[in-house]
Amino acid sequence: MKLATAAYKMDVLDSWEAYAAKLTAWVEDAAGQGADLLVFPEYGAMELATLAGLEVAGDLEASLHAVSDVMPQVDALHSELAQAHGVHILAASAPVFDPAIGPRPVNRARFFAPSGAMGHQDKQIMTRFEREDWGVVGGGPLHLFDTALGKIGILICYDSEYPLLARAMMEADLILVPSCTEAAHGYHRVRIGAMARALEQQCVTVMASTVGECDWSEAVDTNCGMGGIFGPPDTGFPADGVLAQGEMNRPGWTYATLDLDAVRRVRKDGVVLNRAHWAEQVGRDSPAILRSLS
């Protein structure tokens, strides 16, 4: 399969038609290069708040509602594009007010199949900004999507820094990591997390990033990152585990071609078998014995 992961710049949108044209161009570009799976970043949907005006986009609480309100229309567009181009699309995540969860929004990524069918994954663990300033909360459980491309899981940004979340989807061939980070420190935290999850679970992780300045938003005002596709540094994969990476802060797609047989082979007969040996940690979660050495 061919993977495409985005370094995505958000824009001020003067109309719904402008957004539809932008998204269509991005999807057509990747599909035209033969991509089977397209991955957009965390909170890339925040540009939709500008449809309600810059005053709304610049207000933390108002921007949450503005984006959530248009998500049915956004999802319909993604479904149409997935069907038209025969691709899987992980849409840019968005704040969504879901009455089934509670009064505060979740950070939700929606996943579309070539049939137009949609599933979703909510972020599990919130960053300090999401908790303390924005009031975004953890959502529904982790899902593993069984697709024509293989078994696919999603860990949204900060979630990728927690190994037990990846372990809960240990059957995943691919783990998608949409991210939104304001500085190089944050980008590298998520990148290191994504690479560590690929190592531990002997799978491929696909990281997408928001990039560029958005002075119209207090939430996503500065964005730093690039696309990256990572595997375990073992048999059948690059020595550093990097299948492909983009250029820092340069918008566009990053591509890699993947044969899932490589994942199956490394899990069965890699130089090391991290995934199979995971259970040997059981019982070792108690503190190390403190000894005085003088």
Examine the pLDDT at 155 and tell me if it is beyond 90: yes
What is residue 181's predicted lDDT score, i.e. its pLDDT? 98
What is residue 128's predicted lDDT score, i.e. its pLDDT? 96
Please report which confidence band the pLDDT of residue 286 belongs to, taking 50, 70 and 90 as the band edges: confident
Examine the pLDDT at 288 and tell me if it is beyond 90: no
* pLDDT tens profile 185-201: 999 999 999 999 999 99
Give the list of residues 6+ apart from residue 202 with CB closer than 8 angstroms, or none: 232, 234, 263, 266, 267, 270, 273, 274, 275
Give this prediction's pTM. 0.97
Q: Please say whether the beta carbons of 209 and 187 come within 8 A.
A: yes
Examine the pLDDT at 285 and tell me if it is beyond 80: no
Q: Is 128 helix (H, G, I), strand (E, B) or coil?
A: helix
What is residue 278's predicted lDDT score, i.e. its pLDDT? 93
User: pLDDT exceeding 70 applies to what percent of the chain?
Assistant: 100
CA distance 162 to 228: 19
* pLDDT tens profile 38-82: 999 999 999 999 999 999 999 999 999 999 999 999 999 999 999
* pLDDT tens profile 229-265: 999 999 999 999 999 999 999 999 999 999 999 999 9
Task: Please name the fold of domain 2-279.
Answer: Nitrilase/N-carbamoyl-D-aminoacid amidohydrolase (3.60.110)
158 residue type, one letter? Y
Give me the residue spans of the domains in the chain.
2-279
What is residue 283's predicted lDDT score, i.e. its pLDDT? 72
Q: Among candidates 80, 95, 106, 85, which has minimal Cα distance to 43?
A: 95
Burial (Cβ within 10 Å: 0-12, 13-18, ≥19) of residue 83: middle
Q: How confident is the prediction for the chain on average, in pLDDT?
A: 97
Parallel/antiparallel/unpaired status of strands 252-257 and 2-9: antiparallel
